[in-house]
Amino acid sequence: MEEMIKTSIIESIDVKNKILDQKYLKVLHELGERMIDCSSKGGKIMLCGNSGSAADAQHLAAEFLVRLRPKINRNPLPAIALAQDTSTITACGNDFGFEKLFERNLLAIGKQGDVLICISTSGNSENIKLAAKASNKNGIYCFGFLGNDGGVIKSFCDDCIIIPSNNTARIQEAHITIGHAVMEYVESELLKKNIIKLD
């Protein structure tokens, strides 16, 4: 049993070591710069995902809205997870279909210059694909946190990082790691540029 736990941890470390390759770091830096530009101009970061990735979307949105690092108390930054509340989710699922949920919410609150982060381990979720397509039509930069081979969603993203794994748990662990890393960079740069201030 201990060996099985150890194996899972080693696999997670191995996947994260792979994304230290320069090709991954370069694309994550570009995402950070897009987020900095968006936040500097009063835009917002929108995130969407299903299941565990929905939790990751909410988690990362909370880091911007509330606090990311315990000793850095700064102005809140606009971010929202497109899953919204249970009334919105069930109304959309009942009236239009669950696949329309993220697209509809994006069309309601998104605007040109915003950033959409699509989180999908398979890259094939229909509701995320429709949100990505809608972002393309509305001047919203779309970035994918994907896995496996990137699926169909990768073709609707302006850019993406495809975690080099086909193990859902390892992909999700890498997604939250890169999400935190990029957000720490964005927060640091916004403070350095005096775009946000410490409380």
Q: What is the pLDDT of residues 17-44, one digit of tens each?
A: 999 999 999 999 999 999 999 999 999 9
Considering the domain 2-192 in this protein, what is its CATH number?
A: 3.40.50.10490
**Alpha-carbon span 141 to 158, nearest angstrom:** 6
Stated as kind and residue range, the H or E segment containing 145 is: strand 141-146
pLDDT band at 5 (very low <50, low <70, confident <90, very high): very high
pLDDT, tens digit (0-9, with 9 covering 90-100), for 163-190:
999 999 999 999 999 999 999 999 999 9
pLDDT band at residue 12, thresholds of 50, 70 and 90? very high
pLDDT surpassing 80 at residue 1:
no
* pTM, entire model: 0.96
* C-beta atoms surrounding 115 within 10 Å: 23
pLDDT of residue 39: 96
Sorting pLDDT into bands at 50, 70 and 90, what band is 199? confident
Kindly state the percentage of the chain with pLDDT values over 70: 100
Q: How many CA atoms lie within 13 A of 72 on its CB side?
A: 18
pLDDT in tens, 105-137: 999 999 999 999 999 999 999 999 999 999 999
Nearest by Cα to 129 from 141, 138, 120, 139: 120
From the centroid of its chain, how far is CA 135?
Answer: 14
Q: What value does the mean pLDDT of the chain take? A: 96
